[in-house]
Amino acid sequence: MKIERLSLIVGARPNFVKAAPLLKALKQRDRFKVRLIHTGQHFDADMSKVFFDQLSMPEPDLYLGINQGSPVEQIAKVMIALETEFIKNQDDLVVVFGDVNSTLAASLAASKLHIPIAHVEAGLRSYDRTMPEEHNRVATDHLADYLFTPSKDADKNLDNEGLSKEKIFRVGNIMVDSLLRFAPVAKQSTILDEYQLSEQSYGLVTLHRQANVDEPEALDEILGALAEIGTQIPLLFPVHPRTRQQLQKLGWIARLEAQRVRLTPPLGYLEFIKLMMHARVILTDSGGIQEESTVLGVPCITVRANTERPITISEGTNILAGISGPGMLNAFREVMNQKIPEPKNIDLWDGKTAERIAEILVGLAD
């Protein structure tokens, strides 16, 4: 297959962490004409620019600035904009990452133009079709021509759905490439001093999933548990902008801070790695943090009813707590009564995933 022109599509914070090592690996080979396109899904300084800066990523070759409207409206606008760009650039391959709306939009646009698609982080499944991310990842995998998977369970999911084994390449977890590369830099961060935290003496919280944040009853249940946990260990909670709107609407900000749950703006990548490294426990609904905490050997309580990353439970440090207060509190007690786990060595989560993907693409192009 002829591959000369590649476009890498990013839109949200997790995409940036996954794209950075692959962009670096491809540019080092000087084999392709590579463009980085940012759809603008995450657009402000805290959610976007700081990640580009800290991940040593060049400015995007194209910034679409599409960040308004409902998910369907965003997907439609991104598709229309990318159709024009893919035709103009005469792309030979479109590379997408993860499961955000920009991932699906780019895959649909490329597919309609008969441009081959490579999906990095393919094969993950929660089997919960109420999750927008599940729609995105399933549809993208079935549109894609090359499926780069992070783990053996992802391979099995794709095989069970009837996708050709010839499309599937297990390459490892590309987020780990960034984590291992930047962990030594993150160690220099002074974020613990800034928030007067000592190692292993605090918990770290993130919440952003629609099912948790946009449903008042579910959010009340989760926040009530966090307030209770905050009486036992101080919690630092970098708050996603959409989550903060809900906290304000429901009157939770003062109530949380009264229980030693400290709310902060979104943090940079390096600062957040430093906080993860030294946390006693992480409470999150993020998929990527489940993986990063496993590599770092930090106990992780996932505030969801399911996970598309079961390997972080079977081979990692993750506990699936659900979204009930009692479930979260039981998981917290379990963590606090155990020894701090050792970092896990999961197969191919070794910091070399981007190199493997780049070599495969070179092989396909030759």
Contacting residues for 69 by C-beta, under 8 A, at least 6 apart: 77
* Residue ranges of E strands in 206-336: 235-238, 261-264, 281-284, 300-302, 318-320
Q: Which single residue is written with the structure tokens 């701090």?
A: 340
Q: How far apart are CA 8 and CA 361, in angstroms?
A: 13
Q: Give dist(CA 220, CA 237) in Å, integer.
A: 16
- For the chain, give the number of residues: 366
Q: Please report, for residues 40, 44, 75, 76, 174, the alpha-carbon distance to residue 11 in angstroms, rounded to integers and kept in the order given.
A: 5, 12, 11, 14, 17
Cite the active site residues: 208
Tell me if 286 sits within 8 A of 268, measured CB to CB.
Answer: no
Q: Which residue has the tokens 């070599």?
A: 359
Dist. CA 354–CA 27, nearest whole Å: 11
